[in-house]
Amino acid sequence: MHLRRTRLLMAALVAGAGLAVPAIQPAAAASDARTAAGSPAATPEFSPDRVLVRFSAGFFGRPAAAAVEASGGRLGDELFGWRVVEAPGRAADVARRLRGAPGVETVERDHIARAALEPNDTFYPTHQKPYLDQVRMPAAWDATRGSGVVVAVLDSGVDRTHPDLTGTRLLAGRDFINGDNDPEDDNGHGTLVTGVAAASIDNGRGIAGIAGEATMLPVKVLDEKGEGPVSAIAKGIEWAADQRARVINLSLGLAGQSGPAPEPPVLRAAVDYALSKDAVVVAAAGNDGSPWTAYPAAHPGVLAVTAIDVQNRLAYFSDWSVATDVAAPGVNILGTARAADVKPPNAPYGWGTGTSFAAPIVAGVATLIRARSPNLTDREVGDRIRSSATDAGPSGFDPYFGHGILDAAAALGVAGSRAALIYTRDTNDSMPGASALAGSTEGTIHPEGDVDWYYVDVTAPGTLSLTVNPPPTQEPVLAFDPVLQIFDAQGVGVTTPVNLKKKGEPETASALVAAGRYYLKVRNYHGSQSPG
């Protein structure tokens, strides 16, 4: 049994190697004086010009103004029982003098608030901001950037020479494919995933990693083909847990799975071991557009991540099932590329599409939570991510988005949650609510997993033929692929599900029938494809 990155895990890395490098110019050197040391919210900042004062009961008017003037300030507006004291350039001194003055009950410095962090990494504004705004990363970065937390990336290794991954944040790691201490990446997938999770943030170059100040632990468990035996994966999980990795990312899944499959016992034991060590384990759901989640993502206790596009639609390739926990961006995600995969003048960064790249976004947020709230257990971290997610698709939990779309800010507790993105189902999504079909009609399959029912009354024996014509689309990969089935009035199928044509082509179901009422069930072949 092998684990491998399922198809579409890598959309792009290197031209000439079956992959592709984006036309990105070399990153400039850091251009401003900001540093990335420590969390941005570690030290409060105060206004140099204003102080807030609460006076004792009955102390107001001229006596209050005189006390403030004696401190070097000037009495200003009233706000909910507090008075603003104007003290241009002298706020600290005025606050010190007012503390303990007669008639003064409380003195507070006036805090400074700023817009959510916008990193100065070169490609953040143009390449990352759209999908990271989807999960409200800038507000989350105002709380922490993950300093002090170890996140292990079990993959094909890492390129240690990458300028966004070098330094003391990158630990030595291990190679369980070749049995040594050099987890060099000979595939590219691991370097890309590592960068998504934890590339250096706010360093004036390249990209911003989700946990850009966390410590990275590379664990090589996949070979140059992006494949690896379960035994190596299991050993890598055990070793990462023993190294006290607080978060483990697994952007991989069981190979050759064409339906629900049992979890290999050794993999189950390894994941259970990591969970017993209080590691948060995050895994990619898989990329076959199928109604089952690949192991290890399907393991109870693992955060299983499906992928969405920039329009908050479940990505057409994403696997899904009741094991889904949360959805995150997974289409055209920018990561760090191996030096060997880059041709001048391109910078060492590449695009990835797949649940492989949604998972490290969630793993990065889990790392931020552990940095901000180190006493939370792995289960509590997972609960934070699930409970704070933005509900999407069918109301409440569903197999496509799980508990919803990742909301990093809400998970960190630094901002309120977003409005839900719940779809309203049509009324004919069950046999009792079937719509009458006379001649022709139009319908919509929406949201994810929707099914439409129609009925037709046949007055004499003969052949009943029903055809669905998919709408045209500018995105062939998202084309509607109808599956049809005809039922009698008792709900017994008179045809098996029919899906003979290619995506976007008309589909017809036919049956010899007697007089009576018949029902047509219409669905999309891939329930995770976008609505049609």
Residue 387 identity (one-letter amino acid):
S
Asked if 356 is an active-site residue, the reply is yes
Both structure tokens of 168: 């003391």
> Which residues are within 8 A (CB) of 425 and not within 5 positions of it... i.e. 6 or more apart?
394, 446, 447, 450
Q: Which of 39, 321, 356, 388 is catalytic?
A: 356
Joined tokens for residue 313: 């639609």
Contacts 24+ apart (CB under 8 A), 455-462: 455/517, 455/518, 455/519, 455/520, 456/517, 456/518, 456/520, 457/516, 457/517, 457/518, 458/513, 458/514, 458/515, 458/516, 458/517, 458/518, 459/515, 460/515, 461/512, 461/513, 461/514, 461/515, 462/512, 462/513
Is residue 89 packed enough to be buried (19+ CB in 10 Å), middle (13-18) or exposed (0-12)? exposed
Report the distance separating Cα 371 and Cα 351, nearest Å.
Answer: 28
Which of 121, 155, 319, 407 is an active site residue?
A: 155
Environment class of residue 20 by beta-carbon count within 10 Å: exposed (0-12), middle (13-18) or buried (19+)? middle
- Angle of helix 355-372 relative to helix 189-198, nearest 10 degrees, comes to 40
**Does the active-site annotation cover 155?**
yes
Q: Which two tokens stand for residue 247?
A: 């978060």
Could you give the CA distance from residue 213 to residue 516 in angstroms, rounded to a whole number? Answer: 68
SS (H, E, C) 213-224: CCEEEEEECCCC
Q: Phi and psi dihedrals of 396, rounded to 5?
A: 80, -165
Instruction: Label the pairing between strands 82-86 and 46-55.
Output: antiparallel
Residue 330 class from Cβ within 10 Å (0-12 exposed, 13-18 middle, 19+ buried)? buried
Strands 435-436 and 451-458: parallel
**How would DSSP label each residue in 361-394?**
HHHHHHHHHHHH-TT--HHHHHHHHHHHSBPEES
**Taking phi first (over 0 means left), then psi (-120 to 50 degrees means alpha), and beta for anything else, what does residue 404 get?**
left
Enter the DSSP assignment of 37: -
What DSSP string runs through 84-126?
EEE-TTTHHHHHHHHTT-TTEEEEEEEE---PPP----TTIII
Q: Report DSSP state, residue 184.
A: B
**Catalytic, out of 127, 162, 189, 446:** 189
Task: Name every residue whose Cβ is closer than 8 Å to that of residue 210 and which is 6 or more positions away in sequence.
Answer: 137, 146, 196, 197, 198, 360, 361, 363, 364, 365, 367, 368, 408
Number of Cβ within a 10 Å radius of residue 322 = 13
Catalytic center residues: 155, 189, 356
